[in-house]
């Protein structure tokens, strides 16, 4: 109960601040009589959001599904590869630099390449793009977690005559768990953003990214903004889910604690 | 059978390179069962290295080490010793009881037996109500007591400790020393204890091994016949102070001969 009221108290200030900013925005647009092609009033955006809610929902579903697929496969792949690399140092030295090099390629180049590989209405290129981005974030973080075991822990395990497999199971994996959730927290919003961005480079015209750009280019700014609001909601939803997963998996918030202060 | 026999041991790091270090040279030391032996000396005298050699966490360059009548490697594989470090090194994702159970898990004990022993060890270190706490909920001194409980969980005949109280404040430290003596008496453990502190070494030990650096070697071994029941009163006796003076002078001799520093005079 006390915890709930604490949450409410910490939620109030940003909510009030956000509402005040929206009110200010509304006042400026109306007060200076700004034209819709320059800046749309929040009330208009809200109206369009309600009018188009089923279309927005459909676009959110498309982009959200792409992001979720990418997030899921990227995370699984990242964890698997991190495990393999941590067992074979030589592979690690070969694969890591290449991963970083691939990661340095601008995203849109890859989306265009993927689009050429699959049919024009396929969602696969977008999902591949998200998978790739999430994969690197998870790989780098989980590898670190599997490797950065406190020296005192390694010494202890050696004094217990523990095998490599036992050290993996009892020390390296639990040590990597907070790193994994950090990676998830970083890549959840990234997955949504990359899902939108990859829609700008061709493919079916059905996601939030498509809708935003097509509405804006047809001067339907208020509708475009309504889709932007939908995109914000989706990104927020992904972020909240990733935080909730972290809270469930590491009770007591051990993941947030500074791990060097023991 | 002696608990530990160190026979003509030398340890050289970076052999043949320009950064070659003679960490230890010609070390002979025999420790009898039930003895409490401290290793003291300035930084770089190799006292931690000697402890790690006994633990078989590193191999000697020359000489041999026997623990419980077996080669030190076999003793490690058999978990014949428990170890505690300056950092408690508890696993933060395990509860206190689960931390104490870890060495038992690796020995293949079943769950019920492990839990029973963990609770028994928690009683021994006088923290029975903390079984289900997480390590970060405990103070530094309490964490160190859990680390000692973990080291002793499998009832090893030998306890190896590397400055376990080095990070604690003076009051906690003295309390922990008294607790350690009580625990060792109850469990009949042999202890090898590395420390920087002269009073700590004198208060705890049957023998204080004084070491000196470059190359790391034993310069003196001082008997401390203060009896087997020591308490806070012991710290105020004349015998205690004269032993402190004796160790300090032995260290000074070692220090002057090597020109090194790093001993706490408290």
What does the pLDDT read at residue A3?
59
Does residue A255 have a pLDDT over 60?
no
Torsion of CA B176, A153, A186, A236, to 10 degrees: -50
A30-44, A96-110, B148-162: lowest mean pLDDT where? A96-110
- CATH number assigned to the domain comprising residue A143: 1.10.3720.10
In a domain, A232, yes or no: yes
Higher-confidence residue: A162 or A7? Answer: A162
Mean pLDDT of B73-97: 91
In the DSSP assignment, the letter for residue B45 is: S
Number of domains in chain A: 1
Q: Are the C-beta atoms of residues A129 and A198 closer than 8 Å to each other? A: yes
φ/ψ of residue B264, rounded to 5: -80, 130
Q: What is the pLDDT of residue A5?
A: 67
Across the interface, do B88 and A262 touch by the CB < 8 Å criterion? Answer: yes
User: Residue length, chain B?
Assistant: 266
Residue keyed to tokens 């005192």: A152
Residue A152 token pair: 């005192």
A260 located within any domain: no
Contact B91 A159 (CB under 8 A): no
Q: Which residues contact B70 (CB under 8 A, 6 or more apart)?
A: B78, B80
| A22 within a domain of the structure (yes/no) | no
Nearest by CB: A153 against B81, B91, B105: B91
Summarised one tens digit per residue, pLDDT across range B100-159 is 999 999 989 999 999 999 998 898 888 889 999 999 999 888 999 899 999 988 888 899
Q: Is the pLDDT of residue A122 over 50?
A: yes
A252 contact residues in B (CB cutoff 8 A): 134, 136
Query: Is B71 part of the contact surface with chain A (CB cutoff 8 Å)?
Result: no
> Which pLDDT value is given to residue A199?
84
- B26: helix, coil or strand? strand
Q: Is A87 inside a domain boundary?
A: yes
| B97 — pLDDT class (breaks 50, 70, 90) | very high
Closest chain B residue to A250, measured at CA: B93
Q: Is position A26 within any domain?
A: no
Contact B134 A254 (CB under 8 A): yes
Residue ranges making up the domain that contains A125: 41-252
What 3-state class would DSSP assign to A32? coil
For every residue of A90-141, DSSP letters joined together read HHHHHHHHHHHHHHTS-HHHHHHHHHHHS-TT-SHHHHHHHHHHHHHHHHHH
pLDDT digits (tens, 9 = 90+) for A39-83: 888 888 898 888 888 888 988 998 999 999 999 999 999 999 999
Beta bridge partners of B30: B5
CA nearest to B150 within chain A: A156
> How far off is chain B from A169, nearest CA to CA, in Å?
11
- A77, A183, A68: which is closest to A126 by C-alpha? A68
Question: What are phi and psi for residue B184, nearest 5 degrees?
Answer: -65, -35
What pLDDT score does B36 carry?
94
pLDDT, position B202 = 93
Give chain A's length: 262
Put simply, the answer to whether A158 touches B57 (Cβ < 8 Å) is yes
Provide the CATH number for the domain formed by B4-80+156-258 in this structure: 3.40.50.300
C-alpha span between B228 and B29 (Å, rounded) = 22
Backbone angles phi, psi at A245, to 5 degrees: -60, -40
**Tens digit of pLDDT for each residue in B9-46?**
999 888 777 778 888 988 999 999 999 999 999 888 88
More confidently predicted of A104 and B12:
B12
Q: Which residue has the tokens 């889709």?
A: A227
**CA dihedral in degrees (A162, A168, A172, A174; nearest 10)?**
-100
Look at B85 and A155 and tell me if their CB atoms are within 8 Å: yes
Answer yes or no: is A5 within a domain: no
Helix (H) or strand (E) segment spanning residue B148: helix B140-152
- Run of H or E residues at A49: helix A42-51
Q: How far apart are the first and last CA of chain B?
A: 36
Distance CA B156, CA B3 (A): 11
Q: Do A262 and B87 touch (CB under 8 A)?
A: yes
Which pLDDT does position A86 carry in this prediction?
Answer: 86
Tokens, residue B213: 């650096």
- Are the C-beta atoms of residues B138 and B146 closer than 8 Å to each other? yes
Using DSSP, state whether B22 is helix, strand or coil: strand
Residues of chain B found within 8 Å of residue A161, distances taken between Cβ atoms: 76-79, 106
How close is the nearest chain A Cα to the Cα of B185, in Å? 23
CA–CA distance, B124 with A156 (Å, rounded to integer): 21
Structural domain contains residue A53: yes
Least Cα distance to A43 among A55, A32, A28 occurs for A28
For residue B121, the tally of other CB atoms under 10 A from its CB is: 27
SS3 B4: strand
Are the C-beta atoms of B111 and A175 separated by less than 8 Å?
Answer: no
Q: How far apart are CA A260 and CA B1, in angstroms?
A: 42
* Residues from chain A contacting residue B57 (CB–CB below 8 Å): 155, 158-159
Domain span(s) for CATH 3.40.50.300 in chain B:
4-80+156-258
Kindly provide the residue ranges of all beta strands, DSSP E only, lying in B14-101, ordered along the sequence: 21-31, 36-40, 62-67, 70-71, 81-84
Side-chain-side CA neighbours of B126 within 13 Å: the count stands at 9
Taking 3-state DSSP, the helix, strand and coil percentages for chain A, each rounded to the nearest 5, stand at: 80, 0, 20
Residue B257 has pLDDT above 60, yes or no: no
Q: Is residue A240 part of a domain?
A: yes
Reported confidence tier of residue B83, pLDDT bands at 50, 70, 90: very high
pLDDT at B253 over 90: no
A38, two tokens: 């320059």
> Which residues partner with B38 through β-bridges?
B193, B208
Percent of chain A at pLDDT above 70?
92
Complex prediction ipTM: 0.83
């Amino acid at each position: 109960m006390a915890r709930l009221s604490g949450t409410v108290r910490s939620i109030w200030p940003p909510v009030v601040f956000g509402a005040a900013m929206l009110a200010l925005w509304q006042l400026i647009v109306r007060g200076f009589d700004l034209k819709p092609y320059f800046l749309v009033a929040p009330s208009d955006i809200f109206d369009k959001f309600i009018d188009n809610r089923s279309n927005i929902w459909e676009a959110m579903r498309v982009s959200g599904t792409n992001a979720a697929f990418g997030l899921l496969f990227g995370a699984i792949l990242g964890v698997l590869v991190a495990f393999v690399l941590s067992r074979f140092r030589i592979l690690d030295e070969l694969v890591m630099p290449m991963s970083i090099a691939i990661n340095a390629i601008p995203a849109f180049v890859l989306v265009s390449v993927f689009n050429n590989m699959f049919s024009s209405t396929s969602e696969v290129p977008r999902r591949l793009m998200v998978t790739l981005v999430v994969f690197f974030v998870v790989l780098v973080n989980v590898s670190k977690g599997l490797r950065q075991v406190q020296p005192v822990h390694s010494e202890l395990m050696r004094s217990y005559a523990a095998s490599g497999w036992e050290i993996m199971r009892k020390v390296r994996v639990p040590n990597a768990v907070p790193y994994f959730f950090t990676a998830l927290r970083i890549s959840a919003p990234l997955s949504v953003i990359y899902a939108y961005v990859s829609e700008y480079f061709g493919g079916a015209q059905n996601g939030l990214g498509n809708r935003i750009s097509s509405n804006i280019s047809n001067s339907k700014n208020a509708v475009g903004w309504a889709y932007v609001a939908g995109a914000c909601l989706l990104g927020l939803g992904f972020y909240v889910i990733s935080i909730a997963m972290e809270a469930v998996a590491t009770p007591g918030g051990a993941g947030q604690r500074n791990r060097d202060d023991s | 059978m002696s608990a530990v026999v160190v026979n003509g041991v030398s340890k050289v790091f970076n052999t043949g390179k320009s950064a070659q270090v003679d960490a230890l040279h010609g070390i002979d030391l025999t420790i009898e069962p039930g003895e409490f032996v401290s290793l003291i000396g300035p930084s770089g005298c190799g006292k931690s290295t000697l402890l790690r050699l006994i633990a078989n966490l590193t191999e000697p360059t020359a000489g041999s080490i026997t623990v419980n009548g077996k080669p030190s490697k076999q003793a490690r594989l058999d978990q014949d010793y428990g170890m505690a470090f300056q950092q408690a090194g508890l696993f933060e994702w395990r509860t206190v009881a689960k931390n104490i159970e870890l060495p038992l898990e690796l020995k293949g004990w079943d769950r019920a037996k492990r839990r029973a022993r963990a609770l028994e060890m928690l009683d021994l270190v006088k923290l029975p109500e903390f079984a289900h706490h997480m390590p970060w909920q405990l103070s530094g001194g309490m964490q160190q007591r859990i680390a000692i409980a973990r080291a002793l969980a499998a009832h090893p005949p030998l306890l190896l400790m590397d400055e376990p109280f080095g990070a604690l404040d003076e009051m906690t430290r003295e309390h922990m020393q008294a607790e350690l003596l009580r625990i060792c008496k109850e469990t009949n453990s042999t202890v090898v204890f590395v420390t920087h502190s002269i009073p700590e070494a004198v208060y705890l030990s049957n023998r204080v091994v004084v070491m000196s650096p470059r190359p790391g070697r034993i310069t003196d071994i001082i008997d401390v016949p203060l009896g087997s029941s020591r308490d806070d009163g012991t710290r105020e006796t004349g015998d205690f102070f004269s032993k402190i003076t004796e160790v300090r002078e032995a260290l000074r001799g070692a220090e002057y001969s090597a020109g090194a520093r790093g001993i706490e005079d408290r």
